[in-house]
Amino acid sequence: MPVSALQVARTGLEAQDARMRVVANNLANVGTTGFKRDRANFATLAYQDARIAGQRSSGETAYATGLNLGTGVAIQSTSQIVTQGALNTTGNALDLALDGEGYFQVQLPGGQLGYTRAGNFTRSAEGQVVTQQGYILQPAITVPEGATAIAVSQDGIVSAQLPGQTEATELGQLQIASFANPAGLRAIGDNFLVETGASGAAQLAPGGENGRGSIRQGMLEASNVNIVEELVDMIETQRAYEINSKMVSAVDEMLRNANQTL
Amino acid sequence: MDRLIYTALSGMQSSMAQQRVIASNMANAQTLGFKAELLDQRPVTIKGDSLEVRAMQHAEVRGARMDTGEVVETGQPLDVSIKGDALMAVQAEDGTEAYTRRGDLAIAPTGLLTTGDGHPVIGDGGPITIPLGGKPAIAPDGTVTVTDPTQPDAPAQEVGRIKLAGWQGSPVLKGLDGLFRVEDGGVLPRDEEATLQTGSLEQSNVKPTEVLVEMIDAQRLFAMRTKMISTAREVDESGASLMRMT
């Protein structure tokens, strides 16, 4: 019995510690393009029943209620809060922002598809539109040598003025991915998300259609982390951690007392 | 040899159980929709011909404090908090209907509408399912409608109505899974008056200041009961020394 009160307080400390990590990560990414803040979710741990309701308390009577003792708390998951970040104008032709829902789809090394809201694309040596890491945007779009006045429409049609042509040439169309449960996507770092069983499969559509956001050329989406909110969360977490650690010392004190007095 | 020592020991055990309940409440001060548990301590005496002089201390968790926790705005369309004191019906692991105040809803890959800890939310006809790719919206009366993003002009389809149950008058207990159930089985009726507020979440109703006070209280009580045992020892020793003939 005495140990368990200590263990219960320990679960509280661990959960607060994990929450602090989430807050720290959000704050660290306040300047990351297209970053979405995470929220830590807690869940109560299992209950132990020392006695089940209906057990016999004597020959004629039964206990009306069970004796349930909670075993503490655990951090259960983090969920991405997918609110829109502010759009900042940069003026670069291949800086694209999504105004609304959806993700850009890129080819990760190893063949897996990654999804991102960070639309700061560039042109590779081969002329393909790639992310900062050199991952190719899917469906692939190639911008030929010497192309000028690259334009991306709101529904993702990429066109450019090619040397020796009088008319703009259409180079391809971007597709925007969306998911049944975007909160279920798994972050793998570098601003990329990959699909999981919880997110469902990606469904592609042009920008601005079927609930997808429209594409804004020459803009980037800022991080949706709100510093004030995170600081409040940080203080809250810190205080909760403190109280849980007081609990540990209180139980310790009780045990010391029993040791010394008896 | 007096039996006082056993009475004091039962008190010490109760104090430890109390401290454990307080620790569990404290650990859950950030758990959404958590209701603080109450420990009930009572003296237990043996009825009979003998004099009732020994009251053993007995403690157990009898219920939870049902007052509403603080409601915080989140702005998320699937976060709901229940106004008033109704409970939201969910399906427990064993398939039975249980109740919770936790309102951070999400859509599982199967399309089921679940709470943040994975329990499917129950409507009039069982668990509520959101069609794949649909955009859900929750009305204040619990009605869940879905719009198809591929047909922006089509009217929203109703897929179910979250059951909000009134529990006033029927005692509810917290089970081992942390969900509430009616004391002797059965389901609660829908409360037609109960409403939801979307875009906000109800926090835990554990108040850290109260917990700190309770904690110190339990700690000191434990010390007093320990003292009782050492006093009993002194009494026994003096009794024994009186009995010595030399």
For position A26, what pLDDT does the model report?
95
For B23, the closest of A9, A48, A197 (CB atoms) is A9
Kindly give, in sequence order, each residue whose CB lies less than 8 Å from that of residue A65, ignoring residues fewer than 6 positions away: A53, B60, B62, B63, B173, B183
For position A208, what pLDDT does the model report?
85
What burial letters (b/e) apply to A191-201, b meaning 16+ CB within 10 Å?
Answer: bbbebeebbbe
For position A83, what pLDDT does the model report?
86
pLDDT digits (tens, 9 = 90+) for A157-168: 999 998 888 888
Q: Among all chains, which residue has been given the structure tokens 């955009």?
A: B135
How far, rounded to the nearest angstrom, does the alpha carbon of residue A24 sit from its chain's CA centroid? 13
For position B15, what pLDDT does the model report?
87
For position B61, what pLDDT does the model report?
66
CB contact under 8 A, A240 and B111: no
Q: Which of residues 30-69 of B touch A (CB under 8 A)?
A: 30-32, 34, 37, 60-63
For B133, the closest of A6, A180, A262 (CB atoms) is A180
> Can you tell me whether residue A17 is helix, strand or coil?
helix
In total, the C-beta contacts within 8 angstroms joining chain A to chain B are: 179
How far, rounded to the nearest angstrom, does the alpha carbon of residue B99 sit from its chain's CA centroid? 11
Q: Which of B36, B32, B3, B20 is nearest to B206 (CA)?
A: B36
Enumerate the residues of chain A whose CB falls inside 8 A of the CB of residue B32: 41-42
> With a cut of 70, which residues of chain B have pLDDT below it?
1-2, 46, 50-53, 59-62, 246
For position B197, what pLDDT does the model report?
93
For position B156, what pLDDT does the model report?
86
Share of chain A above pLDDT 90, in %: 52
Kindly give, in sequence order, each residue whose CB lies less than 8 Å from that of residue A169, ignoring residues fewer than 6 positions away: A159, A160, A161, A162
Residue in chain A lying closest to B13 (CA): A1
CB A123 within 8 A of CB A135: no
Alpha-carbon span B176 to B196, nearest angstrom: 26
For position B110, what pLDDT does the model report?
81
For position A167, what pLDDT does the model report?
87
For position A2, what pLDDT does the model report?
46
Q: Which of B100, B107, B167 is nearest to B135 (CA)?
A: B107
Tens place of pLDDT per residue across chain A (262 aa): 445 788 889 999 999 999 999 999 999 999 999 999 988 888 887 666 555 555 666 666 655 555 566 778 888 888 888 889 999 999 899 999 999 889 999 999 988 999 999 999 999 999 999 999 999 998 899 998 888 889 999 999 999 998 888 888 999 999 999 887 787 788 888 889 999 877 778 889 898 887 788 999 999 999 999 999 999 999 999 999 999 999 999 999 998 988 998 8
